[in-house]
Structures are given as C-alpha cells and as structure tokens.
Copies of this chain bind each other. A is one copy, B any other.
C-alpha cells in the first residue's frame, strides 16, 4: 500500500506526516520554519534531512511514493512559493525543484485551500464526491473548487478566490481594497467585529448579554462561539445567525458556478458546528435556484482537527498518482 508524505508549511512551523490510504498519519515530525536565518537553502537542507530520515524508517521503507506540500502563496504550476509575506524567504522559492533533487521523490506543491479541498476528498467529508466546494473560514476566506472529478486550478493556478466575490455586506471594505467581498463579512475578524457591534448595541439599549462582560479585544470568533455554546446567550448566537445567513446566501450564489453536490465548511469559524451550520442551511435553502434544490448538501469538514493541513498536503501527492 502506497504512503504519501504531507508537508504543511506555516509561518512558524513546518509539519510533516506520512499518511496511509485510509488517512492515518503513521509517522510525523515538526520542523521550525523560521530557524534558518531566513536562508531558504538552509531550510531546504534541514527539511530534506528530516524527510530522508522519516522515509528511511525500516517499517516504511520503499512505501513512501510522493511528497505533497501545502503552503501560502504556492504556485502549483511553477512549483515555487512566491512572495509569501508570512514566510521568511523573499522572492520566489523553488521548493519543488530543490526537494525533489534532495529526496529523489516526486513533489507536488499547491496552496493551502486547494490542499484542504483535496484532503477532504481523499480522507474527509467529500469522499466519493465528484463535485464539491471547500470553503475555509479563518483569518480570511479560502476556497477549493472540485468539479467533474478534478480540482479547478485556472489560469496561473489562480482559480477559487470565492472569498473575494461581492456577495457579502455591500458596504463592508475588504482587505483587498474592494467592497462587499464575502471574506469581509464572514471571516474570523468579521465575526469579531459583529460581536463588538452587537455588544455595543446591547450596552446602548440597556440590554444584557454575556458578551458585555468581555473586553472588545477579547471578543474573537472563538470566544463568542464558546459563550454561545456554554451559555446559550442570545446575542452571541445572533452573531453566528447573522454570519451564517450571509454565508448561506453566498453559497447559494456559488452553486450556479460549478453545480456541486456539497459545500464543505472548514477552518476556525466553522468549528462551532451547528451554531453556524443551522443559519447557513436556512439561508441557503431560501436563496438557492430551483434547479439545484435538494441536490446540494452543506457539510462540516470531517478531517481530524490539527491533522487537516498535513492530510491535505499528502492528498496533493495522492492526486498526482490517481
């Protein structure tokens, strides 16, 4: 049985995991992304050493057939990480060429959102689906579009920027400089902003909410979800009701593009589960074009928390083999 090595490159750490066909991580390691004085060459040397040690494990010997790498600003076609502001290397870093030379294994690189989508298809909530869209709700909104049995990569690998389609609140400014992007309405900072705004309204109107006891700067998406789930606080719930309604309407629009069988929600904001999922589904059902009714599910990610990135990366290598 073939094994794949998944590598998730983050700003602080690089996580490595050898993954089997069932999505079990049979061996894992962590390497610092930063600890090489910003030298890409030194990082690659350390990473290759780590990989070669893992692959040489007698128990796995010869079974690891490929490496997949998920990273921010990764270019699938060039095999380079390009101008990634959160990584220590400037310019274009040819990681596929370097790693395949130093390990002798085939290497595939792609961005985190595409890796997540493939991971969901290989091991998670999208197993067996030929058509689905993965939406990552984190600091931003990422997406991976899988249609007709393949990931859509688009010209220069730039497909799947659904977070920047103007189906959010029209007057909300996005980090990209444009207005109305979905990202500006449903990513984690937008959830926090909504909580602060509803808390302010409560205070002005002399209403009570658990959120009133929490300083604005601590009202993160995660904290608001914890309050809603622990206490049932109606204002905390309303934060997710409003977020979910915008997201549900947006997903109904996106359905018209690739006619998916499912949307899979992933990332920090989706970890509150039903709190978000219920209003998403209600708004989605109301806004969906009639020809799609009854044919599209909305699911939560089914990848084990903390392993999703490595599983996604491994599935990049797996996809190449299929």
**A interface, CB within 8 angstroms of B:** 130-131, 145, 147-148, 150, 152-162, 164-167, 176-178, 249, 253-254, 256-261, 287, 289-292, 295-296
A131 touches B155 (CB 8 A): yes
A155 touching B295, Cβ below 8 Å = yes
Interface of A, secondary structure class, is loop
Shortest CB-to-CB span from A6 to chain B, Å, is: 23
Docked Cα-Cα span, A295 to B164, in Å, equals 17
Cβ contact of A130, chosen from B155, B258, B260, B291, cutoff 8 A: B155
- A154 engages B161 (CB within 8 Å): no
Given the contacts A148-B152, A148-B154, A162 and B287 also touching, CB distance less than 8 Å: no
Is there an interface contact between A259 and B159, defined as CB atoms closer than 8 Å? yes
Copies of this protein in the assembly total 2
Q: Contacts A147-B152, A167-B167 known; list 13 others, CB within 8 Å.
A: A131-B154, A131-B155, A147-B159, A152-B152, A152-B257, A152-B258, A160-B256, A161-B289, A162-B256, A165-B256, A166-B287, A167-B253, A254-B257
Complex: how many Å from CA A253 to CA B161? 9
User: Which residues of chain B are near A291, meaning CB under 8 Å?
Assistant: 158, 161
> In the complex where A131-B155, A148-B152, A295-B155 touch, is A176 in contact with B289 (Cβ < 8 A)?
yes
Contact A159 B257, beta carbon cutoff 8 Å = yes
Knowing A176-B289, A176-B290, A290-B176 are in contact, say whether A257-B158 is a contact too (CB < 8 A). no
Do A257 and B165 touch across chains, with their CB atoms under 8 A apart?
yes
Residues of B within 8 A of A158 (CB): 259, 291-292, 295
Kindly state the separation between the CA atoms of A166 and B258 in the bound complex, as whole angstroms.
Answer: 15
- Distance in angstroms between the alpha carbons of A291 and B152 in the assembled complex: 17
Bound-complex Cα distance A147 to B147 (A) = 10
From B148, B150, B159, B289, A258 is in contact (CB under 8 Å) with: B159
A160:B289 contact, CB within 8 angstroms: no
Contacts of A152 in B (CB 8 A): 147-148, 152, 257-258
Determine if A287 and B178 form an interchain contact, defined as CB atoms under 8 angstroms apart.
Answer: yes
Q: Name which residue of chain B comes closest to A286, CB basis.
A: B178
The answer to whether B257 touches A162, judged by C-beta atoms less than 8 angstroms apart, is yes
Closest residue on chain B to residue A147 by CB atoms: B152
A145 CA to B147 CA, complexed, in Å: 11
Q: Nearest residue in B to A133 (C-beta to C-beta)?
A: B257
Please tell me if the beta carbons of B156 and A295 are within 8 angstroms of each other in the complex. Answer: yes
Give the contacting residue for A166; candidates B130, B167, B177, B296; CB below 8 A: B167
5 contacts between A and B (CB under 8 A): A147-B154, A155-B259, A156-B295, A161-B257, A164-B289
Closest to A261 in B: B155
Q: How far is the CA of A145 from the CA of B150 in the complex (A)?
A: 14
What's the least CB distance linking A80 to chain B, in Å? 15
